[in-house]
Amino acid sequence: GSVILELSKEKPQERHLDRQAAQFGAAVAKVEAELSAQIRYLTQVATGQPHEGSSYAARKSCQLALNRLDYARRRLAELARTCELMLEQ
């Protein structure tokens, strides 16, 4: 707003205009950086990627452990059946 007021004067002060333009540019850059950070965060959340405050890594680790446990149980059951068949013969 102050840039427009300065430009409306008959003799605008170039230094003042440059300073105001630089401040505006810095404000735009800050807003852009913050928006980019929010977009990155929301992209991580929306795609299920681990992010700050996420329990994704812990849940995935737990699920993998449960899968390994289930696999071990099946293999042990198969081994027990094989041993029983061998003892019957």
Domain spans of the chain, in order of start = 2-88
pLDDT tens-digit series, residues 10-56: 666 777 778 888 899 999 999 999 999 999 888 877 776 666 666 77
- CB burial of 33-69 (b: ≥16 within 10 Å; e: otherwise) equals eeeeeeeeeeeeeeeeeeeeeeeeeeeeeeeeeeeee
Query: Has this prediction a pTM greater than 0.85?
Result: no
